[in-house]
Structure 1
Amino acid sequence: MSRDLLVSFARPVRHEANNLLAALSGTAELMLRSPSSTERDIARAERLRDASARLQALLHAYLALGAPPPADTAPASVIEMMRPLIGLALGPGRKVEVAVAPDLPRLATTPAELQSLVLGLVRSAAEGAACADGIRVALDAAPGGARLSARLEPGGSGPEPAFLSAA
């Protein structure tokens, strides 16, 4: 399947998914506010609300791979949006920490290139994740650009960082 075809479906899928998730979230909220809800109903509604929020974040992150954010999107926003995909690459129940330095220069890397670099580093790091509690994805200022790294925690092991040139 071509990337153009995927991109053409990304926005309509996101729109429809948002409609469906709004229905799920709304139902959960009604269940939580109902005076006749039992403790069991409330627990179910809270799980439904949490699952809806996680599904929404996952879908948005996944669909953004097909239709990346605009070129002027801040690197911190691009990486933060990818948090659910980073978690999937590492495995369930593991912590994902995202740290982006506030003093980054403007980068020549597009959001799509940044997404690809992040996923590549995370997938490489995840190969040794059997004993890891989580992962730390960091984008730090470096001379002439920035350094992107993905390190397993504890221990700090991971692939060689990627260098991103300043614009």
Structure 2
Amino acid sequence: MTDAPARLAGLARPMQHAMNNLYMVLQANLEAVQATLPPEERNAVRLGRALQGAREMEALIRAYLRLGRPHEEGQVDSGKFLEAVRPVLALAVGKPLKVEVLATATIAPPRPEVDLALLDLTAGARGLPPGQPPLLRLDGSAIEVNWPAPEGALEALAELGLQASSQDGATRIVLG
């Protein structure tokens, strides 16, 4: 009998493929109907909201399913990496997460391990004062957040071979 995590990891890639197919049909049909309506019409506005919701739902589910996929490494643009993991990070933060991209770079993060370690890092954002929104800034291969790393988060990132430090209430991680 196989263990559940291994079985779930084996389903992650086919599940993501199936979800992509379903979203493609949904979005294509919504876009086709929207194209037949005058932009100022109330139903066109409603369809626009539905399309935006479908896109956001697709990004969230794609990011979530990536967490269960088997280990993989490959080069990726840091901006594309951040956009892929952002939906689950924003959900885990529990508050609106502001993201700034100053520059991007080519990185090769071990995935899904880095995604999960960044998810652990988001727990620190819950301690921010009410008037201070969480901020994540990407500058090339470095991610900076405006909250301290929770206990164990820096060690988990270091175990993955990443440079990570936390000082003055902020945390910096170099992805590659």
Both proteins in one fold, TM over 0.5 = yes
Distance 2:18 2:33 in 1: 23
Shift of 1:4: 0.9
Q: Aligned AA for 1:123?
A: A
Shift of 1:43: 0.7
Match for 2:93 among 85, 90, 97? 90
Change (3 A) 1:68 1:44: farther
Segments of 5+ residues of structure 1 without an aligned counterpart are: 142-146, 152-156
What is the aligned partner in structure 2 of residue 80 from structure 1?
Answer: 83
Q: Aligned AA for 1:61?
A: A
Q: Secondary structure at the match of 2:88?
A: helix
Q: Aligned AA for 2:98?
A: K
Shift of 1:140: 6.8
Q: Does 1:5 align with 2:10?
A: no
Q: Does 1:117 align with 2:112?
A: no
What is the aligned partner in structure 2 of residue 19 from structure 1?
Answer: 21
Q: Secondary structure at the match of 2:75?
A: coil
Distance 2:82 2:11 in 1: 22
Distance 1:24 1:58 in 2: 16
Q: Identity, % of aligned pairs?
A: 24
The range that moved more, 70-79 or 25-34, is 70-79
Change (3 A) 1:100 1:122: farther
Q: Secondary structure at the match of 1:70?
A: coil
Shift of 1:42: 0.4
What is the aligned partner in structure 2 of residue 28 from structure 1?
Answer: 30
Q: Secondary structure at the match of 1:131?
A: coil
The range that moved more, 48-57 or 115-124, is 115-124
Q: Secondary structure at the match of 2:130?
A: helix
Q: Aligned AA for 2:148?
A: G
Q: Is this contact kept in 1: 2:125–2:134, CA < 8 A?
A: no
Task: Note the aligned Cα RMSD (angstroms).
Answer: 3.3
Q: Aligned AA for 1:62?
A: Y
Distance 1:112 1:50 in 2: 26
Change (3 A) 1:66 1:140: same
Change (3 A) 1:42 1:116: same
Q: Secondary structure at the match of 1:31?
A: helix
Q: Is this contact kept in 2: 1:135–1:150, CA < 8 A?
A: yes
Instruction: State the Cα deviation string for residues 57-115 of structure 1 (Å, max 9, x = none).
Output: 1111111101157311337243331010111122354423356663x7x77x6222211
Segments of 5+ residues of structure 2 without an aligned counterpart are: 164-174
Instruction: State the Cα deviation string for residues 8-48 of structure 1 (Å, max 9, x = none).
Output: 21122212211221222122112211147871110111011
The range that moved more, 70-79 or 80-89, is 70-79
